[in-house]
Amino acid sequence: MQLIELEPVFNPDPKWIKVLDQTRCIGCHACTVACKSENEVPVGVTRTYVKQVETGVFPDTRRQFQITRCNQCVEPPCVAACPVTAMYQRDDGIVDFDKDVCIGCKACIAACPYDAIFINPEDHSAEKCNFCAHKLDVGLEPACVTVCPAEAILIGDINDPSSKVAQIVGRESVNVRRPEKHTQPKMYYVGIDQATLDPLAANTPTGAIFQWSEQKNDLNGGYISSGMPAGWSSNNSAASLLAYDVNHKRPWDYRVSLYTWTKSISAGAMLFTALAVLFGFLPLESALAQWLAPLTAGVFLAATGGLLIWDLTHPLRFFTILLRPQWKSWLARGAFIITGYAGILVLWLAASLFGWTALQQVLLWLSLPFSLMTAVYTAFLFAQSKARDLWQNPLLPFHLALQALLAGAAVMGLAAISIGNQPFFTVSLWTLAISAGLHLLLVWSEMALPTVTAHAKLAEHHLTHGAFSLFFWSGILVGGILPVLLIVALPTPLGFSLAALAALAGLLAFEHAYVQAGQSVPLA
């Protein structure tokens, strides 16, 4: 019998993966330095770094390493969240980015469960590890693979059974980070310790003093320097201490907290007024319906748009979200919802100016779904942030709708007092009281139910007992309990005015606590 030797077949459609062998890693940080040099990564940010955790009790201790970077997911949440396709997935599976398109909305950062994306401080665009795609395309290995002295970093084609990475993944015990997020990461770890793989497994040192660095503990930017108090409690009973880490920043700051508040007022002003007209509590011809409601909604909607543009690192590119939308992104969908709502408000004011009553009858019905969608689309935007377990709340759309109704009753009730409309004032008064009470009930139900993940539990702790507890309890007491007590004890214009102002102030404090606490849990 004649044996025929088969030539290896070239695979024209590779699917690149990485294997990180932590049994070989010596923690030399050569991969970090090589990556910075190859990709011109500025000081202060990294595409890859080596996290270190000390396990055991002195003198019986060991140092565990984890090479940390983008996980090149099969189902990348950053691609789905990006509103302008700046994050995209190539045919070979590599998740890459286009800096010339990025608007700097940071939705990709909020969506990534691995905290692998950052805003480059020099060009202000989102950036991360992309497997050194420019080198792969010409047949070269990534810089980190080339420079690693211990051969701890391997790259190859998972579709090629002869490749070393395919053999390791197919035959050995490997782990991935956060498989419960259903992203199907293509970064496989060999010999990894749970103390490094789980970002909550190890304790942080007191004062956040690491092996070679110290990170300040304030509330202006990251987990340690921007929202994450130093020394969080481990969810692992084994002795482990974080020895080296990089600073992690919360992607969305107070401007996003403020945007949720101005959006609630804008949506609520028109939602509450339209409902009052449809149920016969307010004539369509009244000044409140004709002018005050659409003007109030328009002013706060303009403030909402201004805050969103201000929060972009490339604010002059904001219009690209309308010109090249990525329709899976709720940020893109929200931009069109807000634009549609703004169009309705403009047409409403034009109809008021020219007396087009028939048009207003149509706009009255259109304003209901558009104002409601304007209020609640943020719930779906937050849910798209797979990294943030606190925001994965099925009650959040209902809560945002209720907050919009509360805010609308508050501002329109104040408007009714200013022009002396007693019937509408009465409706506003009791709507505010009832919605404030329901807001308290909904918050209580959310807090009373047990959290299903350690990440959600830690975020809830920061919300109610940690760094953001002052804002949270101020929101509950000032924005929920006080308005109800004022209205019940003093159902007069003065009592309502105090209750409305308290409700709006409390709602702002609550929104800030909720938005920031949701981002206060370490992911890497």
pLDDT band at 207 (very low <50, low <70, confident <90, very high): low
Bridging pattern class, strands 153-157 and 174-175 = unpaired
Rounded to whole angstroms, the Cα distance separating 430 from 426 reads 6
- Please tell me what DSSP assigns to residue 453: S
Fill in the amino acid letter for 148: C
Rounded to whole angstroms, the Cα distance separating 378 from 384 reads 10
Residue with tokens 């665009």: 125
pLDDT band at 512 (very low <50, low <70, confident <90, very high): very high
- Selection from 424, 407, 427 nearest residue 287 by Cα: 424
pLDDT band at 209 (very low <50, low <70, confident <90, very high): low
Its pTM stands at 0.91
Structure tokens at 353: 């100016």
- Selection from 259, 282, 263 nearest residue 412 by Cα: 282
Distances (CA, A) of 500 to 108, 415, 435: 36, 11, 12
Q: Backbone phi, then psi, for 97, in 5-degree steps? A: -145, 155
Q: pLDDT per residue over 120-148, tens digit each?
A: 999 999 999 999 999 999 999 999 999 99
Mean of the per-residue pLDDT values for the chain? 89
| Structural domains of the chain, ranges and CATH numbers in brackets | 16-244 (3.30.70.20), 254-517 (1.20.1630.10)
Structure tokens at 228: 């994450």
Q: pLDDT per residue over 495-507, tens digit each?
A: 999 999 999 999 9
Q: Backbone phi, then psi, for 78, in 5-degree steps? A: -65, -35
Cα-Cα-Cα-Cα dihedral sign, residues 242, 247, 251, 256 = positive
Q: Over the range 485-515, which residues count as b (16 or more CB within 10 Å of their CB) and which as e?
A: ebbeeeeebebbbbbbbbbbbbbbbbbbbbb
Q: pLDDT per residue over 370-425, tens digit each?
A: 999 999 999 999 999 988 999 999 999 999 999 999 999 999 999 999 998 889 99
- Please tell me what DSSP assigns to residue 400: H
Q: pLDDT per residue over 174-204, tens digit each?
A: 999 999 999 999 999 999 988 888 888 887 7
The residue ranking higher by pLDDT, 453 or 306, is 306
Rounded to whole angstroms, the Cα distance separating 141 from 132 reads 8
Rounded to whole angstroms, the Cα distance separating 306 from 342 reads 13
Bridging pattern class, strands 153-157 and 16-21 = antiparallel
Rounded to whole angstroms, the Cα distance separating 335 from 298 reads 15
Cα-Cα-Cα-Cα dihedral sign, residues 522, 201, 524, 391 = negative
Q: Is the pLDDT of residue 450 over 80?
A: yes
What pLDDT, on the 0 to 100 scale, is given for residue 4? 37
Mean predicted confidence (pLDDT) in 105-116? 95
DSSP string, 197-261: HSTTTSBPPGGGB-SS-B----BSSBTTTBS--SSPPPS-SS-EEEEE----B-SS-HHHHHHHH
Residue with tokens 């009650």: 395
pLDDT band at 210 (very low <50, low <70, confident <90, very high): low
